[in-house]
Amino acid sequence: MLASMHKHMKWIMWIIIGLITVAFLFFGIYPSDSGRGMAASVNGDVISHEEWNRVYQNMHDMYRDILKGKFDEGFAKTLRAQALRELITQRLLVQEAERQGLRVTDKELQAAIMKDPAFSQQGAFSRKNYEWSLRQANMTAALFETKQREALLRRKLEQLVEDSVDVTDAEVAALYAAKDPRAKPGDFQKNRTGFRQSVLKEKQRAAVNGYVTRLGNSAKIKVGENALARD
C-alpha cells in the first residue's frame, strides 16, 4: 500500500502546484519599489514568499526525482522563476473567474477530493491516504482544500474559453492534407474523428493560453525586489 501511495504523490503535487491547467506563459512583470515583503502581486493581490517557496520546493523535488542526475542548479534557478510565473497565472485566472461570478460549491469540492485517485484505496476514498498525502506535501487540509477549490475555479473558466472554440470540416481536412500531403482521401475519412479531436484540443489550448496572456497584459503585476534578487 505504501508503494501505491508514493506512486500517487506525484499526482497530488501536480494538483498543489497547479501545472495541470494552462501552459507556462510569458507576459510582462515588473519590479516594485515597495515589494520587499512579497514575492509578487497581481492587481494588488499579494503572493507571499512562503507560498512561492512551497510551490518551488514541490516542483524542485518532483523534477529532481524525474530528471535525477540531469537536474542541476541552472535548471533549479529556471524552475524557481517558473514557479513564480505559474502562481501569477493562477492568480490571474482566479481573479477573472471570480469577476465573472463563477463559484465552486462545497459539494463540488468534496466530490473532486473523493474521486481523486491520489486518495483512493481499493477503488474508494481513504481518509488515511488523504491525510498521509497532505503530510507528505507539508500542507494542512484547509490549505489543500483552498488550493483545490481554486484549481476547480480556474478549470471552470478555462472550460468556458474552450467551449467557445470549434473547428470546421474544411479546416480539419486542410490541416490533415498539410500534415501529410501524400495522404489519400480514404486515409482522411478513416482518421477524421481522431484528427478532428486533436485539432480541436490544440485550438482550445491556444485559446486558453491567449486568454491568459491577455489577462496578464492588462493586469498590474509586480515582483518584489527580494524575488528579483534571488533569481
**What's residue 230's pLDDT?**
54
**What's residue 186's pLDDT?**
73
**What's residue 162's pLDDT?**
97
**What's residue 110's pLDDT?**
97
- C-alpha 52, offset from chain centre: 15
CB atoms within 10 A of CB 192: 14
- C-alpha 88, offset from chain centre: 11
Q: Is 67 within 8 Å of 126 (Cβ atoms)?
A: no
Structure pTM?
0.78
**What's residue 26's pLDDT?**
47
Q: Is 230 within 8 Å of 40 (Cβ atoms)?
A: no
| Closest-CA residue to 172 (of 190, 194, 199) | 199
**What's residue 112's pLDDT?**
96
Query: Rounded to an integer, what distance in angstroms lies between the CA atom of residue 137 and that of residue 114?
Result: 18
CATH number of 2-154+220-230: 1.10.10, 2.130.10, 2.30.30, 1.10.4030? 1.10.4030
Question: Over the chain (231 residues), what is each successive 10-residue block's mean pLDDT?
Answer: 47 47 46 64 94 89 86 88 93 98 98 93 93 88 95 97 94 84 76 89 95 95 73 50
**What's residue 3's pLDDT?**
46
Which residues make beta-bridge pairs with 45?
A: 42
**What's residue 24's pLDDT?**
42
Which cell numbers hold the place of 201? 484540443
Q: Where are the beta strands (DSSP E) in 20-60?
A: 30-32, 40-42, 45-47
**What's residue 166's pLDDT?**
94
Backbone CA torsion sign across 37, 40, 42, 48? negative
**What's residue 90's pLDDT?**
95
**Could you tell me the CA-to-CA distances from 103 to 54, 78, 98, 146, 208 in Å, in that order?**
26, 34, 7, 13, 19
